[in-house]
Structure 1
Amino acid sequence: MLRLHRDEETSDGRLPGGCGISQVTASVVQMETEVMEEDVFQEEADSCPLSPLHPGSVDFPDTPTLSSPEEMLERRLMVLKVILESEEVYLRELEALLMPMKALRASAGTSKPVLSSQQVQTVFYQVPEIRDMHQSFFSGLKERLSAHCRSDPGLGEDEQMSYTGFELVVGDLFLKMSMMSNIGSDKTRTKYTFEALLYKPLDRVTKTTLVLLDILKTTPETHQDFALLQEVLRLSRSFLSGVNESSQSKRGVTLSHGMRRKLMRDGFVVDASEGERHMRHLFLYTDLLLFGWFLPLAGLKLRWIADQHHSPDAQLRLHTIRTKMHLLRQQLRQHAGSKGLAYAARSRKKLEQVELMLLTHSPVYTGAAQPQRQVILSSSPRCMSLKNGGKPFTKSLQTRPSPPDLLTLTSACVKLRMTQQPPLHSTNAVEDEMSLCGTLSVAVHSACGLQQPASVYVCVEVDGYEFYDKQATTHSSIHSLNPHWDQELEFQVDAAQELRLLCVSQADGKNDTVLGKTSVKLDSKTLNERWRRQTLHLGQVDVTVSLKFSPHPLEPPSATAPLHPVFCVPIEIVTQQEGVMVPHVVRCCAEEVERRGLAEVGIYRISGSSSDINTLKTVFNSNLRDAVTRLRRAEVNVVSGVLKLYFRELPEPLIPADKFQSLARSLEIQDVDSRLVSMFSVLHSCPAPNRNTFLFVLHHLQRVSEKQDTNKMTLMNLATIFGPSLLRLPVAALGHIGSSMDISVEVVLQVQVVFCYLQCNNLPEAQTSLPHDTDSEDETTQI
């Protein structure tokens, strides 16, 4: 088996071997990277029908007794033919790998070698021996299959297979290869990079057990190969078990300065370098980040650049990939069992290839960076998890580990990598009735348990196929001990089984801090179209959420996300889109004014920059989270200007125009109590979003006037500013009473109505969100 990282680090601080050598030898080896887009996005009628390279590629029954011996022998022959073709492809790859080895070995004897002879031997360790071993296995298997499939003039093809099926013996070939055979490579027309070729033997060794299992399932117990294949399978499983035990024992490595190195976590990330993206296996140690090259954490800057976006070309590419995934998934569902194993294996293989492309090109969250390269993660929870994992690292660590430590470290990393694969959902997904397919709605209400006031937001992510966006984030709350959002997030999901939440504290000019995280199992039996409220424990924070689920078939993903503008849109439409009673733009602006504008002289009277106000208006129409983030940094007079602009641009005033005359008549009532009763009767006849938003604004303006000694804004001043925006004369009535009511009289009535409401000391409370909780008591989830 090919071994990587057996020598000391190279002069530029990167690991020798397949992880970092491709750039070093770029001048010697020219191998273009060709992504399998053409192969993926076209039908492969001429491709191999079966592949034993994956657990889901050949779905044979669990025991041989489920098929007749003739059917088992026929399938066995198909699997062996695919293995033969796979070996032929792999031998060509090994030959391609030996070409740069010869060039590098020749340059090692020059005055300016690319690599030393020892490094060449380390990088290409036992590659010639591996090639010879597989050549011997390929020749033996080909000879036996050729003899078996040689046509007999006296027998038909089916009769020939039945006649000679028990005579085809290959178990001794597999036993001879033992665990060194590394069977299983994709039959593909793709050209590989030098780096990918170096990893090929490591990728193959992990799949040997699956290949042997496929062959054993198709071998009758009476066949003389059965016992031999059982022994080979036992040896294979024993080897993999030993790798797991060995990797566990290697997780702690003693550093030269007396500290103890431990493996914190490992997984797959995307590496962006020189405009190219590659999938990398990441290993995070207490002082080292290792994935293709190593970065000493003492000099590593961990950051999170949130709300990154793809370019239009990248978005179109991702839409094409997601659409292809959706169609392949639908085909697998519709034709399950109707077109045979060959069709299912080919479709699933395509799905895996497309999903791997999506995993490579979709991430936008930067988790770690160096001058020439970045580590990009697919979601904000994963990015924040990586960042949070780096909190205990100290700055006193050495900038480079010593060679003996590195040797032990990389040995453990190679063994870990052998036992894991990229997280493809199409590989691990199980068709389960409990998984969700449809629309999942998550309402994030509030949080409690903070030790000190903070601006907090919540990241929500679901699993399943990545046809649609799988994650969303609330806007950041105001600086508070009890943050609240009442924000509804919606997900289109397919085969979703788990919901993950991450609560993050946002500090101005500083790194965000993870306050807690948790996961919730999604149960189709308990979730329905009625809201279900529950409280989740996320470390030091308790977050209250509500969930509901509507099952339905999914449509293909759209090319662009639907925009839900809020300005110049009727308030009932905005509140329905947001799942609230008071629009978020109103709540966020009012909260921000109360946070830092109550002491501002002339608040709401002095206008902010019109360009800044229009910029915030545009952002609110496209991205609520981005708008709230900008709102937190904007001048407070700009914030107050955005709130006034929202009410001015409502197509219909907040108090419907048909209520104007009724309110005007109420003002004529001399008795104060009777007048208020009449006015509140008119208010209660308004639609719920209008009524609750109006009450919310009244309470807000009352709190502003409480600081009138400082801000000089009395109730009359505020009524004068907001009256014309909140209440208007009906357009249809202008021609009817226009001669008897001029503009000055109308303005006076508008101001008097709002002033009368503001003078009320017992205003009803505004309901800001819809009643998501349908149960009598909240459900508390302890995780």
Structure 2
Amino acid sequence: MEEEEEAIGYLDRVLEGEEDSEPGTPTSPVPGSLFLASEKGEQDAGKGLEMRKLVLSGFLASEEIYINQLEALLLPMKPLKATATTSQPVLTIQQIETIFYKIQDIYEIHKEFYDSLCPKVQHWDSSVTMGHLFQKLASQLGVYKAFVDNYKIALETAEKCSQSNNQFHKISEELKVKGPKDSKESHTSVTMEALLYKPIDRVMRSTLVLHDLLKHTPADHPDYPLLQDALRISQNFLSSINEDIDPRRTAVTTPKGEARQLVKDGFLVEVSEGSRKLRHVFLFTDVLLCAKLKKTGVGKHQQYDCKWYVPLADLVFPAPEETEPCAQVHPIPDHELEDMKMKISAIKSEVQKEKASKGQSRAIERLKKKMFENEFWLLLNSPTIPFRIHNRNGKSYLFLLSSDYERSEWREAIQKLQKKDLQAFVLSSVELQVLTGSCFKLRTVHNIPVTSNKDDDESPGLYGFLHVIVHSATGFKQSANLYCTLEVDSFGYFVSKAKTRVFRDTAEPQWNEEFEIELEGSQSLRILCYEKCYDKTKVNKDNNEIVDKIMGKGQIQLDPQAVQTKNWHMDVIEMNGIKVEFSMKFSSRDMSLKRTPSKKQTGVFGVKISVVTKRERSKVPYIVRQCIEEVEKRGIEEVGIYRISGVATDIQALKAVFDANNKDILVMLSDMDINAIAGTLKLYFRELPEPLLTDRLYPAFMEGIALSDPAAKENCMMHLLRSLPDPNLITFLFLLEHLKRVAEKEPVNKMSLHNLATVFGPTLLRPSEGESKGHPTLASDIWSHDVMAQVQVLLYYLQHPPISFAELKRNTLYFSTDV
């Protein structure tokens, strides 16, 4: 992986959001938790000790990788020196000394540090001290200063030698880095350019490690003053070389001779000539450049082709009412996007199986290639949020993004640069060529953001359900109509998953709303705070939606290391002076869908459907009939009905009222948010002691849906319905007809039959607990195999002509077998 640490493990994920914290301040120890947020006030010394060990273990693992990288860099140095004195040298002695300057010294320093630290971590107890090791490491940073001073010329020399000498080019393009001891991968191939950046990357990371260790070390611990001293030395060192540490700083000059820095880059989907194109967009200090990667022959350096550029002095964001409607790009139907996600998940499972059985590398590569193609298609066709920029000299450009957070980041980065005194200019063909040529070296985002580009040792993310309570927000300068949205990453891009209600005319909103968000390999949660706009003239003509103002945004990492926790974790996220208070907890897919039979015979939730219908003397439970009636009365045209999360506290209130058979049920239903009513219906089916389509018939449903012959499938699937107990069958048919009526409004509510099958399939149909225990698999395998089949079963019945209970029971022509 270029210019990044391959496997930093637990530690660096902890560090991601902590650079802005005040260094050297002792805080309470933090137990390992699901979320990377410190829980102030926790005083458990044992947990603090465990945290220090976790931090050190993660750092030790990354230190091993770093030493292996330095070894790989040093490996060609000896043979290159040996040939330097022959009649046919690959490089001269001077070139070798320039390229590999101080690498040997850095290697020896870190090898000694690793060998000293390793036994301390392996034999960990409360008496272990290691502050002196970090203090010694910090005192040797002068070697890094020499390396940094030489870094730019080392890179230039390596590049020149690579261009002029084919033998060195081959060596520098594929250096073999030894894998960690516990890794299945014996070696990985890395370029010399990437490895030469590792010491620079490492010195920055080591400073963050010290910060984190200090944070979890009590002030009276003997290590504390030593770590504090090491951190002070490291921070002073970093600030002294700050201008030299990044090779991107002065790589390009403007027409006026000033330094042109790369500020931001990333992959965006552009609408060009009526179709979607993936572009790599580069934001420099004075220009926005849109490029695409050229196709090049084997062995040739990759280059970008500039599609267009706009000087920031000429760039404007048109107001919503000023935009002209663009040529329509037909959105891909949701069910096609969901189908593709299922395919990707199935391929992931196949890759895991091949690796587990030590299958052929060719087969794995073929699967990975197919996965990349599918993920690329998803990345290209999922975004729908318009981001338009306009050149004052005439032309407009339209990007489609998947996340409002991302749109806001690009807009803010550009507007910040525009506050400077910028002048309009036109690049000559030579200047444009130089600028475009620099993009390949300067880019910070190297790979298209798809999961198939991840290294095997990177976290696969979380699969299951994230429960989030958005409590309140403070820090607004004046009263406004305020709400929040929640985004999580899924399949390489972020999507909006939940939205609070609008709190009107306040500077201190108190939402206290709970949401359940499905995670599909997610690693981050984003919270955005908006001011609601009710002015209908502020409509974005690219998507006919009113544009609300983002007041603040923030992001938190989700830690897959501790998914077993059942406790709520409260945290505060700061954004532009605004503080949003929220709580989170995670439940795996297995835990969230686990059915625990209720011993009670009163109420309706968790009680067998046959017991409820017998007690009520009804064919379909009252809760099912009333929720469906209310949805059809006022929610059938609601965008995302059954997909959008209802407020959890409202759902729990409805659950309590139905369980108590309160006489105020109908009044409460008529006043309740429609998404809460839809959520109550889903919760009822989820909490049945066994799924509606029964544990006993689950294997037969799986076999039936897999049949290829249409007639055989029809007979089998109808026979399975006839095999259901009457209360289950009648309720299922009642729900089926309702979902079909919801799907008839798809042009308005955006809920297709496939969307509805995706929402309800895993709730109505699920293997028994005993059966799922017998097949231990990865969370992603469970998600892809079981869910795909469950969705297909429900979709089969939704797409089938109307099914009558009486006809089913009367018809004896169906294929009959023991099930």
- Larger CA Rg, structure 1 vs 2: 1
TM-score normalized by structure 1? 0.41
